[in-house]
């Protein structure tokens, strides 16, 4: 299954570029390992997190975080995980890999509700 080498999200064919990271997808067998297994939150290994959204809109980050946490899905922000690094223009919202399916469903509903009526 095509996988993003950056955020490790999996996509169905014919998607060839990750919509979150804007990088070409690779087959899982070709994907390089990510992270070094260091703890980012005491008991959550870095490779156990996947990117669910990348945005430069702080309001959207807050809305997504609230939506996920109200649904019982812990989320982490890239600037909180690596505060020593210079903040990037965009913030990545990460969730535990085992909750990715639920998070994606919530995000689809969130995007659908956010679109203006035509």
Q: What is the pLDDT of residue 1?
A: 74
ω before 14 within 30° of 0 (cis)? yes
Q: Which two three-digit tokens encode residue 57?
A: 């809109």
Q: Say what the pLDDT of residue 45 is.
A: 46
Q: What is the pLDDT of residue 70?
A: 93
Evaluate if pTM is beyond 0.85.
no
Query: DSSP readout, 86-117?
Result: PPPSSEEEEEEGGGHHHHHHHHHHHHHHHSPP
Q: What is the pLDDT of residues 46-102, one digit of tens each?
A: 558 888 888 889 999 999 999 999 999 998 888 777 666 555 678 888 888 888 888
Give the pLDDT confidence of 78-92 residue by residue, as tens digits: 877 766 655 567 888
CB 60 within 8 A of CB 35: no
Domains assigned to the chain: 1-34 (no CATH), 37-118 (3.30.70.790)
pLDDT tens profile 20-46: 777 787 876 543 444 433 334 444 445
């Amino acid at each position: 299954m095509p996988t993003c080498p950056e955020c490790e999200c999996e996509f169905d064919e014919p998607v060839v570029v990750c919509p979150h990271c804007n990088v070409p997808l690779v087959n899982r067998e070709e994907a390089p390992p990510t992270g070094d297994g260091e703890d980012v939150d005491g008991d959550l290994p870095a490779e156990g997190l996947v990117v669910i959204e990348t945005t430069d809109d702080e309001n959207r980050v807050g809305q997504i975080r609230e939506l996920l946490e109200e649904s019982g899905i812990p989320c982490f922000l890239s600037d909180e995980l690596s505060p020593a690094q210079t903040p990037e223009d965009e913030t990545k919202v990460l969730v535990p890999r085992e909750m990715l399916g639920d998070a994606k469903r919530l995000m689809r509903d969130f995007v659908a509700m956010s679109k203006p009526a035509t």
